[in-house]
Structure 1
Amino acid sequence: MAKTTSDLIVERLLDWGIDTCFGLNGDAINGFFEALRTHADRMRFVHVRHEENAALAAVGYAKFTGRPAACVATAGPGAVHLLNGLYDAEMDGVPVIAITGMTYHDVIGAHLLQDLNSDYLFRDACAFSERVMGPAHAVNATDLAVRKALAAHAPAHLAIPVDTQAQTEDTHSPKNPPGHTSTAMPERAPAPSRGDLEQAAETLNSCGKVVIVAGAGARGCGDELERVADLLAAPIVKAGLGKDVVPDDSPYTTGGMGIIGTRPSHEAMEQCDGLLIVGSATAFHEFWPKPDQARGVQIDRNPARIGLRYPVESGLVGDARTALIDLMPLLRRKSDRAFLEHAQAGMRRWWDVLREEARDHSTPMRPQTITWELSELLPDNAIVTGDAGTVTAWAGRLRLRRGMNYSFSGTHCTMGSAVPYAIGAKIAHPERPVIAFNGDGAMSMGLGELATLAQYALPVTVIVLHNNSLALEVWEQNALLGNPQYGCDLHSIDFAKVAEGCGLRAFRIEKTEEAHQMLAEAIDHNGPSLVECVVDPYAAPYTDTIKDSHADKILAAYEKGEPEAPRMARSLLEPARLPMAPAVQHAEHELRRYT
Structure 2
Amino acid sequence: MAKQNVAEQFVDILVKAGVKRLYGVVGDSLNPVVDAVRRNSAIDWVHVRHEETAAFAAGAEAQITGTLAACAGSCGPGNLHLINGLYDAHRSMAPVLALASHIPSSEIGLGYFQETHPDRLFQECSHYSEMISNPQQMPRLLQTAIQNAVGRSGVSVVTLPGDIADQPAPEKAAETALVTSRPSVRPGDAEIDKLVEMIDKADKVTLFCGSGTAGAHAEVMEFAEKVKSPVGHALRGKEWIQYDNPFDVG
Q: What is the TM-score normalised by the length of structure 2?
A: 0.92
Change (3 A) 1:48 1:169: closer
State how 1:218-233 maps to structure 2 within 5 Å.
Answer: 218-233=213-228
Q: 1:169 to 1:53 in 2, by over 3 A?
A: closer
Q: Which residue of 2 aligns with 1:438?
A: none
Please report how far the alpha carbon of residue 184 of structure 1 lies from its aligned counterpart in structure 2 after TM superposition: 5.0
Matches of 1:4 and 1:44, distance apart in 2: 19
Aligned to 1:128: 128
State the 1:202 CA deviation.
2.1
CA distance in 2, matches of 1:20, 1:126: 20
1:114: how far off? 1.3
Please tell me whether the aligned partners of residues 209 and 231 of structure 2 are also in contact (alpha carbons under 8 angstroms): yes
> 5+ unaligned residues in a row in structure 1: which ranges?
257-595
Counterparts of residues 52-451 of structure 1 (less than 5 Å) = 52-168=52-168, 178-184=173-179, 187-246=182-241, 248-254=243-249, 256=250
Tell me which amino acid in the other structure corresponds to 2:214. Answer: R
Specify the alignment match of 1:18 in structure 2: 19
Query: Following TM superposition, by how much is the alpha carbon of 1:247 offset from its aligned partner in structure 2, in angstroms?
Result: 5.2
Q: What are the residue-to-residue correspondences of 1:445-464 with 2, within 5 Å?
A: none
What is the CA-CA distance between 1:232 and the residue it aligns to? 1.7
Q: CA deviation at 1:186?
A: 6.5
In the alignment, which residue of structure 1 is the partner of 2:48?
48
Post-superposition shift, 1:14? 0.6
Which residue is equivalent to 1:301? none
**Counterpart amino acid of 2:143?**
D
Is 2:96–2:156's contact at 8 Å kept on the other side of the alignment?
yes
TM-score (norm 1): 0.40
- Cα-to-partner distance string for 1:522-560 (whole Å, 9 max, x where unaligned): xxxxxxxxxxxxxxxxxxxxxxxxxxxxxxxxxxxxxxx
Identity of aligned residues (%): 29
Q: Unaligned stretches of 5+ in structure 2?
A: none
Instruction: Give the 3-state SS of the residue equivalent to 2:81 in structure 1.
Output: helix
> Secondary structure of the equivalent of 1:99?
strand
Residue pair 2:67, 2:181 contacting (<8 A) in 1 also: no
Quote how far apart the aligned CAs of 1:71 are: 0.5
For residues 483-524 of structure 1, the C-alpha deviation after alignment (integer angstroms, 9 at most, x for no partner) is xxxxxxxxxxxxxxxxxxxxxxxxxxxxxxxxxxxxxxxxxx
Give, in angstroms, the shift of residue 169 of structure 1: 5.5
Contact 1:143 1:183 in 2 (8 A): yes
Does the aligned pair in 1 maintain the 2:132–2:158 contact within 8 Å?
yes
SS in 2 for 1:188: coil
Q: What letter matches 1:47 in structure 2?
A: H
* Equivalent residue number for residue 28 of structure 1: 29
Equivalent residue, structure 2, for 1:503? none
Distance 1:186 1:194 in 2: 24
Partner secondary structure for residue 3 of structure 2: coil
Q: Distance in 2 between matches of 1:116 and 1:186?
A: 33
Counterpart amino acid of residue 243 in structure 2: D
Distance 1:79 1:204 in 2: 51
Deviations 1:43-63 (A, max 9, x none): 122112221121111111111
Q: Do the aligned residues in 1 keep the contact of 2:17 with 2:68 (CA within 8 Å)?
A: no
Of structures 1 and 2, the larger Rg is shown by 1
**Equivalents in 1 of 2:74, 2:144: separation in Å?**
22
Structure 1 position 187, deviation (Å):
4.5
| Whole-angstrom CA distance in 1 between matches of 2:3 and 2:175 | 20
Contact 1:59-1:94 at 8 Å conserved across structures: yes
Paired with 1:146 and 1:102, the residues of 2 have a C-alpha distance of 19
Query: Across the two proteins, how many residue pairs are aligned to each other?
Result: 249
* Amino acid paired to 2:92: D
Give the corresponding residue for 1:525.
none
Contact 1:5-1:134 within 8 A present in 2 as well: no
Letter paired with 2:194: Q
CA displacement at 1:204 relative to structure 2: 2.5
Deviations 1:111-151 (A, max 9, x none): 11111110111122111111113433221111101101111
